[in-house]
Amino acid sequence: MKAKLTLHKEFSIGETDKRIYGSFIEHLGRAVYSGIYEPGHPQSDHEGFRDDVAALVKELDIPIVRYPGGNFVSGYNWEDGVGPAANRPMRLDLAWGTRESNQIGTNEFARWAKKVSTEVMMAVNLGTRGADAARNLVEYCNFKRGSFWSDLRRSHGVPEPHGFKLWCLGNEMDGPWQICHRTAEEYGRAAAEAAKVMKWTDPSIELVACGSSSARMATFGDWEYTALDHLYDFADYLSLHIYFANKEGDALNFLGRSLEMDRFIKNVAGICDLVKAKKKSRKIVNLSFDEWNVWYHSNDADAKIEKWTEAPPLLEDIYTMEDALAAGCMLITLLKNADRVKIACLAQLVNVIAPIMTEKGGPAWRQTIFYPFMHASKYGRGTVLRVPVSSDKYDSKEYWDVPYLEAVGVHNMERRELTVFAVNRNLTEALDLTAGVYGFEQYQFIEHITLNHENLQAVNSAKEETVRPVVRHKGTIDGAVLEIRLPPASWNVIRLGSV
Ligand code: AHR
């Protein structure tokens, strides 16, 4: 099969915001306990944080990590997680039916974030709590000294404020599964008042309002409009969430779902602009895609977990080659919308629907989805190029006109590098790609990284990395024409640079 694309230096969509390579750690399953934190593990530091996990997180080069939830945050008393660890209460977490020891809380997490060179994207509880707890938390974290909550932080051994810049106004408040689920009207009012006092406490913070937890929610659209109508002056971003699943074993349909993700982004951006127009505002509310991934492999195992267990193995999806392709399509979709999506979080980071897995007392290892994310984070920063693609298309059960070739280009001017990220959705045929390259006269072919496997269900494990990238040096650039072959069902990173 053949396909064409055009890369032109002047066809720019916008600059990437590095925060699109964010991730997420929730107090859920083994993300925290025996994930990032396992005192007594041979590779743990003096505080109990695993160095082997930290090293893998650093490989991904993640600029922000959302914390502490997720559904968990809607029942969380942040005060339980600060002060002497021995005095912290064991609580029931109603979101996941587990017990939470609170041995890790805000200050420990901030220390872990420093260890892995990331920033914390904090979430406040707008389920069981509200404006008062939220503004106290901002004061505890960000106020220098001389007030009740800032001095309490200092008495907890944290003399300098954390200075967290980005805050989520609750989590998935549109979902009936949420602790203290609200209507859009209720959420909009409550979140606006919380936002107001949070910003009065620290005017430098940025706020993310809850959008729909999926475009398939019955309230989608109305939720965004109504909530934003209340929140427009306070919110800087509106959130979107999506999880792909392939329960029917229909790979082509599964890989087509990124078209739905693209439509979701464009529709939410449209609603933000509708509210902007109605309010005659000059402000633009951008998007925070703060949960995205594949999630379904663990559903049956989760149903069997005994209730009220502490840190049980929940949501431990083991990802296939096919899932890595889906993750690749999602990353390309985020990049193609770089003009509106300024924040995105791969949900989640360790053990819970994650690129990094750990064994208790044993090794940490990379799942298949680790690689597309790592490549995008490493090479996908700069000016995103609109890449016109001409490729054969297919129809699947839910999606029509799905191009076999999904692609985007990113030009990093500083490094003088041009990278094309591409997925060949054709499961059986290689794709001979011809790319017209304009405005990059000095650029030469550097390398072609591929991730593929003849078995789409191949997975990695602690023992073996069956799915791993291969670097190829085959590819020609002749004047303005690049020719390259993309293997069937593959994730590709094509790198050009000026020598
Ligand atoms: O990431 C797992 C869960 O998915 C989060 O807690 C919730 O926000 C979403 O439904």
Which CATH number goes with the domain that contains 356? 3.20.20.80
Q: Report the residue among 23, 24, 26 best suited for mutation to probe ligand 1: largest number of ligand atoms under 8 A from its CB.
A: 26
Q: Are residues 202 and 298 in the same domain?
A: yes
Which of 379, 405, 433 is the endpoint of a domain?
379
113-117 LR contacts (CB < 8 Å, sep 24+): 113/65, 115/45, 115/49, 115/54, 116/54, 116/57, 116/58, 116/62, 116/65, 117/58
pLDDT(409) > 90: yes
Shared domain for 44 and 95, answered yes or no, is yes
Over residues 293-301, mean pLDDT:
98
Check whether 499 has a pLDDT greater than 80: no
Q: Are residues 482 and 354 in the same domain?
A: no
Phi/psi-derived region of residue 137, left when phi > 0, alpha when psi is between -120 and 50, beta in every other case: alpha
- pLDDT at res. 475: 79
pLDDT tier, 252 (very low <50, low <70, confident <90, very high otherwise): very high
Atom in ligand 1 nearest the alpha carbon of residue 95: 6
pLDDT at 206 over 90: yes
Does 393 lie in the same domain as 331? no
Q: How many domains does the structure of the chain reveal?
A: 2
Pocket lining: 348 vs ligand 1, CB cutoff 6 Å: yes
Q: What is the mean pLDDT of residues 378-394?
A: 97
Whether the predicted pLDDT of 134 surpasses 90: yes
Q: Domain check: are 326 and 405 in the same one?
A: no
pTM, two decimals, is 0.98
Q: How confident is the model at residue 175 (pLDDT cuts 50, 70, 90)?
A: very high
* Per-residue CA distances from 330 to 30, 180, 227, 283, 377 (Å): 25, 31, 26, 28, 13
Average pLDDT, the chain: 97
**Domain end residue (candidates: 379, 411, 426):** 379
Question: What is the extent of the structural domain holding 115?
Answer: 17-379
- The pLDDT assigned to 169 comes to 98
CA of 72 to the centre of ligand 1 (A): 8
pLDDT of 25 reads 98
Same domain, 40 and 84: yes
- Which CATH number belongs to the domain containing residue 411 in this structure? 2.60.40.1180
- Answer yes or no: do 98 and 122 share one domain: yes
Q: Are residues 296 and 441 in the same domain?
A: no
Q: What is the mean pLDDT of residues 144-152?
A: 98
* pLDDT given at position 302: 98
Residue 386 pLDDT exceeds 90:
yes
Q: Average pLDDT, stretch 373-388?
A: 97
* Residue in 214, 241, 289 to alter for ligand 1 test, most ligand atoms within 8 A of Cβ: 241
Final residue of a structural domain among 379, 410, 427: 379
Per DSSP bridges, beta strands 119-124 and 166-169 are: parallel
pLDDT the model gives residue 404? 98
Please tell me the predicted confidence (pLDDT) of residue 170. Answer: 98
| pLDDT at position 228 | 98
Nearest C-alpha to atom 2 of ligand 1 is from which residue?
Answer: 70
pLDDT at 476 over 90: no
Cβ–ligand 1 distance for 69 under 6 Å, the answer yes
Same domain, 175 and 237: yes
Pair (369, 417) in one structural domain: no
Residue 210's pLDDT is: 98
Could you report the per-residue pLDDT of 416-460, keeping only the tens digit for each? 999 999 999 999 999 999 999 999 988 999 999 999 999 999 999
Report the pLDDT averaged over residues 253-266: 98
Which stretches within 61-210 are classed as H helix?
A: 106-115, 131-142, 148-155, 184-201
Residues marked as catalytic: 172, 291
Query: Is residue 344 located within the same domain as residue 423?
Result: no
Residue 433 CA to ligand 1 center (angstroms) comes to 38
Q: Are residues 451 and 355 in the same domain?
A: no
Relative to beta strand 119-124, strand 476-478 is unpaired
Mean pLDDT on 340-369? 98
